[in-house]
Amino acid sequence: MPSPLTVSRRQALRLVAGTGLFFMAGGMLRPSSAAAAAFEAPKLPYAENALEPVISARTVSFHYGKHTLGYFDNANKLVADTPLAGQPLEKVFLEAAKDQKLVGLFRNAAQAWNHVFYWNGLSAAGGKPSAKLQKAIDTSFGGQEALNKALAEAAVAQFGSGWAWLVADPAGKLSVVKTGNADNPLQEGLKPLWVIDVWEHAYYLDYQNRRAEYVKGVLEKLVNWEFAAQNLG
């Protein structure tokens, strides 16, 4: 979706919880809205080799090109003949989660959302939490080291496929939660701030069964704290 529109990195990375998912693609923001005929898969917000050496270009190519785009393709096929057609991606997976007959739609729509969130939460640029986010981290966890430990433990301990999330509750308190398969903290009324993917396709080409090494590398070098701060609001 090329566009002459130029936006700041802050704008491009923003996901607005509760109003639908905003994708960064080709230098512009594209909302998944009722005006769209289908969910439009975003381009990566960086080159495939941008996350090396922690995550290889080969892994990014397969993870994005096969898995992420596959979830979008499947979600588009599955939503077409349902009352949810034309609704924002976030609304689709939250509503589909309530109906066992729509389990396939839920899984694919949620995974599409989760993956966009994951890709935008990674950056080789490093950085630190904003003052507001750091204060919330200190209040909720007792400091950055404790937060990283909690994220690492949740990510490594997740049995099978899933995700480890940094979330905020309605009162603004932060916590770390893990979810299996396609599940998302929004289903429990929590606001996602950042996530690490621990499905095997996220790391197996680079680390095989050494999930802990992948998690350590991501937490030490690839967390996009600006993105997390924007999601906190």
User: Binding site for Mn(2+): residue ranges?
Assistant: 63, 115, 197, 201
Whole-number Å distance between alpha carbons of 129 and 228: 8
Q: Three-class SS of residue 177?
A: strand
Helices (H), the chain: 9-12, 57-62, 69-79, 89-96, 103-120, 131-141, 144-157, 204-207, 211-221, 225-232
Residue 188 is given by DSSP the state: G
User: For residues 166 and 147, is the Cβ–Cβ distance under 8 A?
Assistant: yes
Whole-number Å distance between alpha carbons of 86 and 36: 6
131, 132, 134, 139 alpha-carbon torsion, rounded to 10°: 140
User: For residues 183 and 191, is the Cβ–Cβ distance under 8 A?
Assistant: no
- My answer on whether omega of the bond before 53 falls inside 30° of 0, hence cis, is yes
Nearest to 90 by CA among 186, 191, 26, 210: 186
Known binding-site residue numbers: 63, 115, 197, 201
